[in-house]
């Protein structure tokens, strides 16, 4: 289009008299050609400008990306302590209200639990009024005098002790300072429990079949007892290793007659979480499902005095049954 000359014709030449007109036409065409060239040049300039706009925008984007990326990187390192703080707070909340890890320090629960096992304890359901049930493995605070001779198990390294204290505070590792015990609930408030000779253990006159007892032990172990009436709000506990467990049988001369207050129970151990090759759930043995074993079904749980807690009680029971299954 830039090479087109306005007024040019193809075919025969014009008459001689028309030369002036042709010259004038040519002269008049020159400015038009200049205008056309100018227009073409303007179009090219505009085209070039249009092509230059994205390039400039890309340069602006590249120049803007660098400080933004640096800001994002700096922002991450600034936010990291906040994220760690939130994680620790969540761990502390979980430990306080939901689940806590405990370490097994002795052989009193063999072979169900071995020394060094880590168990997870459900601390949630007691908040809704759930009380320990027969057959459950529970962690409870020393009722008084049960662990008077047991030293706290702590490392000799001050750094390790400090780290353990911090991690145990937020529930990421068991505490070495807390004097807690772990046993199996054999009888609850209102029950009568006894064991004569070599056994079996009887609850409300019903004999228990206890396959979880340490091989070679008798149900009574080395100490027969009973009959003992368990007061309301208390439980009778025994270790699965009957010959190596200082449980309720050995504290009958203390207040409570060897029973443990329900208020001292931290929660139910429901799974062996560590080591991984020993991972297992801790269900209630079927012998505790025998008909007639319960002296009386519990009324409304003491802590479930509000309508909300009463409404949640069926859900709590279903949760506990799911753990067993």
Q: Which residues are catalytic?
A: 108, 183
209, 243 in Cβ contact below 8 A? no
Q: Where are the beta strands (DSSP E) in the chain?
A: 99-103, 118-122, 137-141, 180-188, 192-195, 201-203, 206-207, 225-229, 234-238, 260-261, 265-274, 280-281
Question: At residue 53, what are phi and psi to the nearest 5 degrees?
Answer: -65, -50
CA dist 91 and 148 (Å) reads: 30
Longest dimension (CA), the chain: 150
CA distances from 32 to 21, 50, 104 (A): 16, 26, 102
Q: Which of 262, 269, 276, 5 has its CA nearest to residue 141?
A: 262
Q: Taking the mean position of all CA atoms in its chain, how far away is CA 144?
A: 33
3-class SS at 222?
Answer: coil
For β-strands 192-195 and 118-122, DSSP reports them as unpaired
Q: Which of 84, 109, 129 has its CA nearest to residue 242?
A: 109
């Amino acid at each position: 289009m830039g090479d087109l000359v306005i007024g040019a014709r193809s075919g025969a030449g014009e008459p001689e008299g028309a030369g002036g007109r042709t010259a004038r036409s040519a002269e008049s065409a020159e400015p038009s050609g200049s205008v056309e060239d100018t227009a073409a040049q303007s179009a090219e300039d505009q085209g070039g400008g249009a092509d230059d706009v994205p390039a400039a925008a890309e340069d602006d984007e590249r120049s803007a990306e660098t400080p933004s990326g640096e800001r994002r990187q700096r922002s991450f390192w600034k936010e990291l302590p906040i994220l760690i703080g939130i994680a620790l707070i969540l761990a502390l909340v979980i430990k306080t209200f939901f689940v806590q890890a405990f370490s097994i320090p002795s052989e009193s629960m063999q072979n169900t639990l071995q020394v060094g096992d880590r168990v997870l304890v459900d601390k949630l359901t007691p908040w809704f009024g759930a009380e320990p049930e027969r057959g459950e493995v529970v962690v409870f605070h020393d009722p008084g005098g049960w662990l008077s001779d047991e030293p706290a198990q702590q490392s000799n390294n001050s750094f390790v002790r400090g780290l353990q204290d911090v991690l145990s505070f937020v529930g990421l590792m068991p505490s070495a300072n807390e004097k807690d015990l772990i046993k199996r609930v054999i009888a609850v408030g209102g029950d009568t429990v006894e064991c004569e000779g070599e056994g079996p253990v009887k609850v409300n006159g019903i004999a228990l079949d206890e396959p979880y007892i340490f091989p070679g032990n008798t149900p009574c172990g080395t100490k027969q007892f009973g009959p003992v009436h368990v007061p309301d709000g208390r439980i009778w506990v025994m270790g699965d290793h009957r010959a190596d467990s200082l449980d309720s049988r050995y504290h009958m001369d203390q207040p409570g007659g060897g029973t443990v207050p329900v208020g001292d129970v931290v929660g139910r151990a429901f799974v062996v979480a560590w080591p991984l090759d020993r991972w297992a759930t801790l269900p209630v043995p079927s012998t505790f499902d025998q008909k007639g074993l319960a002296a009386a079904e519990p009324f409304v749980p003491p802590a479930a005095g509000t309508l909300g807690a009463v409404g949640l009680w069926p859900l709590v029971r279903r949760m506990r049954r799911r753990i067993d299954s």
